[in-house]
Homo-oligomer: A and B are copies of this chain.
Amino acid sequence: MQITLKDIAQQSGYSITTVSRALTGYSDVNAETRQHIQDIATALGYQPNLLARQFRNQRTYTLGLIIPAHDQTFSTGFYSQLMLGIGDAASLEHYDLLISAQAPGEDEMIAYRRIVAGNRVDGMIIARTRRNDERILYLQGRGHPFVVSGRGAPGEPSDYPYIDVDSQMAICTIVQHFVELGHRHIGLILPPEEIAFTGFRHEGYCEGLAAAGIPYRPEYVINGDLWWSGGYECTETLLDDYPMLSAIIACNDLMALGAMNAIQERGLQVGADIAVAGFDDITAAEYAYPPLTTIHQPIYEIGQMLVKLLISIISGATPTETQVLIPSTLMVRASSGIQRI
């Protein structure tokens, strides 16, 4: 069934050693011999048994990625766009991806141990860091190559290779933008507290308010679940309790789109009555109605950078820049509305 080096060796009359060397391009094999062997190999349709090769070489040319299971968030927005960048870059570098879907928790760590200690991948990519991230501790402890999309929460060490956007400055910029448009009462819909970047975004909000001399009111801040409906529900709560709010910042685009729905369902106009801003700049943001003001993160490019960084670490290089903080840009669109009095 399976064609092996042995078959080619028998056909050609050479040894397995020579066949192997001929096919992998060693120099100490006669040109004619090599040609002969290569001809037989293609004639037989030889494909190396990668399992055997990986096992022998202790090298898989595979990168591991554990995605959140049962998480709708995956399919719309940040995660899948990141995966697209990772997939494209990996394929360019001739790496494959090993993926397992696991919800955060004990099973997730089991999967990490299985995949990493089981030698299935050369390196891991971690996304959406959490406070005191157990996954990072494990990989650091084992000395296994990995890169991280995101970094530790404010105050945590983050002494590992990562790529992140400066969300603190980004949110600060949005606040500034809204202040310039005349808003004084700005609501904030944060991600869940266990996510690492939540702290940065919260701080950015405070920083923006402070710079404008607007007092920080904790009751304007609420945690959502990063999903459409979370943004919707948080917005309802905020608007019910604090009708003076004239602007809402959601910490990702999905929640911002949900917020727009809630606003529109009240018969209010997004932009004119209540300004909305998101974070991520997923494709749906641009094509939403009205188009959503948001922070553009180069997610696809981040995915590519992660792969390149990881592969260079795997290859034993010592990249100079292992901790990258990417500047983000504010995309002003119609959901901002216009200048207030």
A residues with a Cβ closer than 8 A to B are 2, 45, 47-52, 54-55, 60, 62, 67, 69-72, 74-77, 79-81, 83-84, 87-88, 90-91, 96-102, 111, 113-115, 117-120, 228, 257-258, 260-261, 264, 282-284, 287-289
Interface pair B119/A76, CB less than 8 Å apart: no
Chain B residues positioned under 8 Å from A76 (CB to CB): 76, 80, 282-284
Interface pair A83/B75, CB less than 8 Å apart: yes
Contacts A50-B119, A98-B97 given; does A287 touch B87 at CB 8 Å = no
Interface pair B69/A91, CB less than 8 Å apart: yes
A79 CA / B100 CA spacing, docked (Å): 17
Q: List 7 A-B contacts (CB under 8 A).
A: A51-B120, A52-B55, A62-B98, A75-B77, A76-B283, A76-B284, A79-B80
Give A48's nearest chain B residue, CB to CB. Answer: B118
User: Whole-angstrom distance from the CB of A161 to the nearest CB of chain B?
Assistant: 21
Interface pair A84/B88, CB less than 8 Å apart: no
User: Whole-angstrom distance from the CB of A264 to the nearest CB of chain B?
Assistant: 6
Give A86's nearest chain B residue, CB to CB. Answer: B101
Cβ-defined partner of A51 (8 Å) among B75, B118, B288 = B118
Give A143's nearest chain B residue, CB to CB. Answer: B1
Contacts A74-B80, A75-B283, A80-B74 given; does A69 touch B98 at CB 8 Å = no
Cβ-defined partner of A99 (8 Å) among B2, B49, B72, B96 = B96
Chain B residues positioned under 8 Å from A101 (CB to CB): 84, 87-88, 90-91, 97
Interface pair A51/B47, CB less than 8 Å apart: no
